[in-house]
A and B are shown apart, each in its own frame.
Chain A
Amino acid sequence: MIEVNDIYKSFGDAHVLKGISTCFDKGKTNLVIGQSGSGKTVFLKCLLGLLSPDKGTISHDGKIYSQLSGDEQRNLRQEMGMVFQGSALFDSLTVEGNVMFPLEMFTKQSLSEMQDRVDFVLKRVNLVDAHKKYPSEISGGMQKRVAIARAIVMNPKYLFCDEPNSGLDPKTAILIDNLIQEITQEYDITTVVNTHDMNSVMEIGEKIIFLKNGIKEWEGTKNEIFKTDNEAVTNFVYSSELFKKVRQMYIEERN
């Protein structure tokens, strides 16, 4: 579980996060949504410890990140997996090398043990024939799967995903969403996903927080987001014609 308590973050005169408090539960897919520039990425980087909040605390299962020593922070980070927006795979390593990297770095496993684990996680993300390929030789969807495999190879307690669907076609995006949700439930991970993809919200949003100009404007589930009267949320969620029609049908059905 991750508890966020009244965090603020500024860069010079730009106040990006303004007093956000929330709680992300274990075994659930938690989504952070909001427009570009709403502070989602900065918020996620604070959760990861890549940025320190100016004020407020973030606690990972009771460990307050800012109060840990450098080594304790590094140890905590080894319990985190991260899927970056652009996948952030190491160009110089093969798919297998990328997934094996955390194991080589932090475990004393033998090569065959590491190989078995890599095979297992690559199979788990439905990638079986790409072991020896380099990131530049595989598609965007496959890169995302490799990034997920790398993020879960160390059995993390926390999984963070920054817009995992960006640049993917709708079908692949749904596959990635479902994969994230399945892994979250299967390994009982606390997962936080940054997204502005409404399909993801409808598919996997077990808990959703909506950020607007660095403030938590709304919090709820994927079912509640249909019913909310919060104007900022409805303007964001129903900005596309498709979702406007879905909402209209929902209202008509309700009446």
Chain B
Amino acid sequence: MNYLASIGSYAIMIKEVFEKPTKWSIMRSLILKEIDELIFGSLGILIFISFFIGGVVTIQTALNLTNPLLPGHLIGFATRQSVILEFAPTFCSIIMAGKVGSFITSSIGTMRVTEQIDALEVMGVNALNYLVFPKIIALMLYPFLIAISMYVGIFGGWIAGVFGGFSTSADFIEGIQLDFIPFHVTYSFIKTLVFAFILATIPSYHGFFMKGGALEVGKAATTSFVWTSVVIIILNYLLTQLLLG
């Protein structure tokens, strides 16, 4: 019953986020601030992770393709498919659930604990619109991060493949061009947009409706990470079935 009540209050929260909008001049600066914090602030860690994940995917693929009859370009092909279809959109979103999600929950939760949200409500401000809407809009730029992640992931794979002696540069590049289906990138970006909405709203929900003090802020951040990850993984399955199945 608690889960159902939570889903219900999450749905009501989403509705309220889009009601009684904040003045555009204020909202514009909030959105720019969130883009800086949530998108640009995550660029470094995503590039770092993507580079090494791409490298690991290449090495593991190469180590499992021991049959000499298999063409060398399969390493590049497998790396491209893994990175574009799963590692960049889904794996990075789980990382973002930890980084961005915890930040959102703890910052909104701290505002709740220190009565800043009450102060907004007393003034007649729609606190949900003021706090959550700019995060949703900022995270709509998340596909740009994932595009960079895809590029860096494949580049990491090329570095690992060529400099680790697992593949030649020509084979790897031939592999990443082989049987390219543009819809796979579209599918990834659709997933990413859905995940972006989840990344903005579930942590906000846990922060906004938390009760208690500093300890509870920490607990809310952990719960938010768990639920954001769970929802991302379930939606990943559903979207894959719908779009590629």
Contact = CB atoms under 8 A, between A and B. Distances in A.
A50 B121 contact: yes
A77 B114 contact: no
B119 A104 contact: no
A32 interface: no
Contact of A91 (B22, B116, B125): B116
B26 A105 contact: yes
Task: Give the top 9 A-B pairs by smallest Cβ distance, nearest first.
Answer: A77-B124, A88-B115, A74-B124, A88-B119, A82-B122, A78-B124, A84-B115, A88-B116, A102-B123
17 contacts: A48-B122, A50-B122, A71-B20, A73-B124, A75-B124, A78-B124, A82-B122, A84-B119, A86-B114, A86-B115, A88-B115, A88-B118, A89-B116, A104-B25, A105-B22, A106-B123, A106-B124
A110 to B, nearest CB: 12
**How big is chain A's contact interface, by range?**
20 to 34
B124 A104 contact: no
Contact of A78 (B23, B114, B123): B123
B28 to A, nearest CB: 12
A102 B118 CA distance: 14
**How big is chain B's contact interface, by range?**
10 to 19
A90 interface: yes
Interface of A: 48, 50, 71, 73-78, 80, 82, 84-86, 88-91, 101-102, 104-106, 160
Most chain B CB inside 10 Å of its own CB: which residue of A71, A77, A88: A88
Interface string B4-25: 0000000000000000101101
B125 A105 contact: yes
B122 A80 contact: yes
A77 B119 contact: no
B122 A74 contact: no
Contacts of B23: 104-105
Interface in B52-101: none
A102 B23 CA distance: 11
A91 B115 CA distance: 11
Given A104-B25, A105-B26, A85 B115 contact: yes
A140 B217 CA distance: 23
A48 B126 CA distance: 15
B189 to A, nearest CB: 32
Nearest to B117: A88
B32 to A, nearest CB: 13
Nearest to B121: A50
